[in-house]
Structure 1
Amino acid sequence: MVKLTEVEDEHFTSEKPTPTQKDSLITSDNEEDDDFTDTESEISVESAAEIESENLYERIIALKDIIPPHSRRRIAGTVTGITDFTKSTFSFSGKALWVISTSAFLLGVPWALAFAEEEQYAQMEKEQGMMKGANEMLTPGVDAAAAALGGIQEKQSQPAL
């Protein structure tokens, strides 16, 4: 715990003489000079040097004594809870993204290749059907005669039992 002690400035402890009418006629320049030199003490010079050497982080840390302990605990608990929730959310999201992407590669790529191959076979059959239709249009009846001749030739080439 910090113990505070009051340090009195010598300017306030010395007794001031009561002003007279003659003193009031003195120019204000002398009074300003006296006041300026009197208010500047060793303590104020040292504290100014301390303030200049402090950085922002040290000043913020020093402010924690202003907030009561129960409020500090509540604020610290809230910040810790939010931080933990954020970390766990990012961790879960990263793991879920890893599972989804590896599953897509292991299952999706082979399926896509098989689907493309099947489409290629369907396209080839379609092209062959179009070529067969074009051949029938150019020479009608040739395929029917060739099929009939092929059937006769097959029967002739089979051995008799």
Structure 2
Amino acid sequence: MVKLQEVEDEHFVNEKPSTTKDNTLLATDDEDEDYTDTESEISNDSDIDVESETLMERISALKDVIPPGARRQITSTVSTLASFTKSSVMFGGRSLWILSTSAFLLGVPWALAYAEEEQYIQLEREQGMIKGANEVG
């Protein structure tokens, strides 16, 4: 069985602070009225140099304005869109590679064979014209 033991702070052992009617610890009631947060980031605006701030820094500072659920949804949507775009570009590049290599491997030999066949047809026509000219004359 676990036994709990209360350990008091040395500061509170020597002098017990007074409590208010709400059981909150205050040294005096006057201090409550004059309380200001001097270490707040808002009160320390002199350190912020707005002129040298970039657009990306300003946009990234706006992330605290958007609720976490909306941020997750936006991040998910952007991630999905980026993945889809990357896949589309990769598929397009690979398809273009396949089409171009197929055209070179199949098209160039076909074009050479077609040109050679045209030369044979041209040669036969010339020989036919020469033969026809010899028969007439």
TM range (shorter): 0.5 to 0.7
- Please name the residue that 2:46 is paired with: 46
Q: Which runs of 4+ in 1 moved over 3 A?
A: none
Partner SS for 1:121 = helix
- Please name the residue that 2:81 is paired with: 82
- Please name the residue that 2:112 is paired with: 113
For structure 1, the 5+ residue unaligned runs are: 1-5, 9-42, 139-161
- The C-alpha deviation readout for 1:33-74, integer Å capped at 9, x for no partner, is xxxxxxxxxx57615x44344332222111101101110111
Partner SS for 1:88 = helix
Q: For residues 80 and 45 of structure 1, do their structure 2 counterparts lie closer, same or farther at Cα, with a shift above 3 Å needed?
A: closer
What amino acid sits opposite 1:60 in the alignment?
I
2:45 and 2:101 mapped to 1: Cα distance? 67
- Please name the residue that 2:3 is paired with: none
Q: Which has the higher contact order (CA 8 A, sep 6+)?
A: 1
Question: How many percent of aligned residue pairs carry the same amino acid?
Answer: 59
The answer to whether residue 133 in structure 2 is matched with residue 134 in structure 1 is yes
What amino acid sits opposite 1:46 in the alignment?
S
For structure 2, the 5+ residue unaligned runs are: 1-35
More helix by share: 1
What amino acid sits opposite 1:84 in the alignment?
S
Note the 1:20-39 alignment, pairs <5 A: none
Q: Considering only aligned residues, what root-mean-square deviation do their CA atoms show, in Å?
A: 2.0
